Amino acid sequence: MTDSMDKIVELCKKRGIIFPGSEIYGGLQNSWDYGPLGVELMNNIKQAWWKFFVTSRPDMVGLDSTIIMNSKVWESSGHIANFTDPLVEDKKTHIRYRADHLLEDKGINASSMTLEEMAKVIKEKGIKSPEGNELTPPRQFNLMFKTYIGPAEDQTSLAYMRPELAQGMFVDFPTITRVSRKKLPFGIAQIGKAFRNEITAGNFIFRLKEFNLMEFEYFINPKEWEKIFEMWLGEMKKWFEFLGIKESELYYHEIPDGERAHYSKRTIDVEYKFPFGLKELNAIAYRTDFDLKNHMEKSGVDMNYSDLETGEKFVPHVIEPTFGIDRTLLAVLCSAYTEEEAPTADGKVEKRTVLKIPKGLAPVKVAVLPLSNKPELIEATKKIWDDLRSHFATEYDETQSIGRRYRRQDEIGTPYCVTVDFDTLEDKAVTVRDRDTMRQQRIPVADLIPYLKNVLQ
């Protein structure tokens, strides 16, 4: 694990994992593109999450709801009126900041403060902007991105980019209950993009305006909520272990009364020790029946569930575990980043940087390397590369010394390197190098695929 955010950002740019978006035009504030390796890592996290929480369970189904929904959804959910953050502005530079974040930086908990209370504290404590200038009084700022449907840009065509995934699962609940024939308790899961016009985005990919979420709504009989809440909290802990995130790097923050969202009866923020501090990674909330009851009232559509065994009819309650993909990916990188001493071929010692990403998440599983650029070696190596590609995410590299190529693969987290040398032409065997131990062993080419399948499990 690293305590330097700069090292993570530098490595990501250097190896094409994540880099600034629109860079040739000077970029866009806190806009990051996932490169060839970054998109593979993200896809691996998504696929692993979907298997872990959805397809491996009998009580989960999936959904892909639209990014732009009927505006009445957001009116009914309270987002148009209440999805706000407190904003202040530097009177000199006109840069805007979140008032609660500025107060938190001074050790002041502002989560339950009114705007008037924040203004009073800012004045009494003489709190300035990061540039040292006076601030305007706080005001509420709605975080939803607006857009328009059709050619006319007026109030009748106003729409919003979704700021969360949850509402799609709530409004589709009656349909999914009918077509899936699932009995309570069961969950609806979704992976997708969300959009929030954050006042102060930053810390690399930690806080973005356009971000990726994985979450599910688990519908229950309220009599069972405490038991099911603990069950899902336990499953989340297993997920973190799978990601290679140590328990010692996590803190489970029980949100007290008065600081929870208005719909929540219990919320735990799972915080991770990022290089820039202890910050929220994921969360789990007991949302009660707030959302379904609200949509039932506003839409007139019946959201009740009928238990055929007991004859009971009620609006289901909801447990919601939610996972930010970008933050999860960043935590995986921070936990995996390692600097250690390693021996060189000439007997010396040098520092190597290695991403010890869990093998199942690694963007490249196997690198195939010819010992030299002799034509006969390259031909033999590419034949092996062709055979491996249909089984594993692979990379071929023939440039620079074999030591430098090993270091490149270490930096992107490749678990195994397969080196083809001149002996391969005679004994039909290759050298397989382990990323974490750097141990090398000779494996017959005929046994290579089953060997790699076994060690990559």
CATH number at residue 110: 3.30.40.230
Domain endpoint, select from 332, 349, 376: 332
- How many Cα atoms occupy the beta-carbon half-sphere of 390 within 13 Å? 4
Q: For residue 68, what are the β-bridge partners?
A: 161
Task: Give the C-alpha distances (Å, rounded to integers) separating 337 from 142, 270, 280.
Answer: 37, 21, 20
CA distance 6 to 426: 47
pLDDT at 63 over 70: yes
Give yes or no: residues 250 and 386 share one domain.
no
Give yes or no: residues 135 and 260 share one domain.
no
* Mean pLDDT across 392-416: 94
In Å, how far from its chain's centre is CA 236?
14
Structural contact between residues 215 and 321, judged by C-beta atoms closer than 8 angstroms? yes
| CATH number for the domain that contains residue 179 | 3.30.930.10
- 275 is a domain residue: yes
CA distance 377 to 420: 7
User: Residues 155-168: pLDDT tens digits?
Assistant: 778 899 999 999 99
pLDDT at 95 over 90: no
3-state helix, strand, coil in the chain (%, to 5): 35, 30, 35
Which residues touch 91 (CB under 8 Å, ≥6 apart)? 133, 134, 135, 136
CA distance 93 to 131: 8
Q: How many domains does the chain have?
A: 3
Q: Of all residues in the chain, what percent carry a pLDDT higher than 70?
A: 99
Give yes or no: residues 392 and 260 share one domain.
no
Q: Phi, psi (5° rounding) for residue 225?
A: -60, -40
Residue with the larger pLDDT of the pair 349 and 20: 20
pLDDT value of position 104? 87
pLDDT value of position 43? 97
Give yes or no: residues 413 and 286 share one domain.
no
Q: Which domain holds residue 229?
A: 5-83+149-332
Give yes or no: residues 209 and 274 share one domain.
yes
142 confidence band (pLDDT: 50, 70, 90): confident
- 356 is a domain residue: no
Give yes or no: residues 249 and 388 share one domain.
no
* Mean pLDDT across 114-118: 90
Give yes or no: residues 400 and 261 share one domain.
no
User: Residues 209-221: pLDDT tens digits?
Assistant: 999 999 999 999 9
380 confidence band (pLDDT: 50, 70, 90): very high
Give yes or no: residues 79 and 91 share one domain.
no
262 confidence band (pLDDT: 50, 70, 90): confident
Give yes or no: residues 295 and 395 share one domain.
no
Chain position carrying tokens 């980043």: 337
Give yes or no: residues 39 and 166 share one domain.
yes
Give yes or no: residues 239 and 375 share one domain.
no
CA dihedral 308, 313, 314, 318 (to 10 degrees): 0
Of 323, 30, 7, which is closest to residue 205 (Cα–Cα)? Answer: 30
pLDDT at 257 over 90: no
Domain endpoint, select from 124, 142, 160: 142
Tokens of 225: 């909520």
pLDDT at 343 over 80: no
201 confidence band (pLDDT: 50, 70, 90): low
Q: What is the pTM of this model?
A: 0.91
Give yes or no: residues 216 and 204 share one domain.
yes
Pairing state between β 84-89 and 337-343 = unpaired
| CATH number for the domain that contains residue 380 | 3.40.50.800
* Mean pLDDT across 338-343: 86
Which residues touch 247 (CB under 8 Å, ≥6 apart)? 237, 240, 241
pLDDT value of position 345? 65
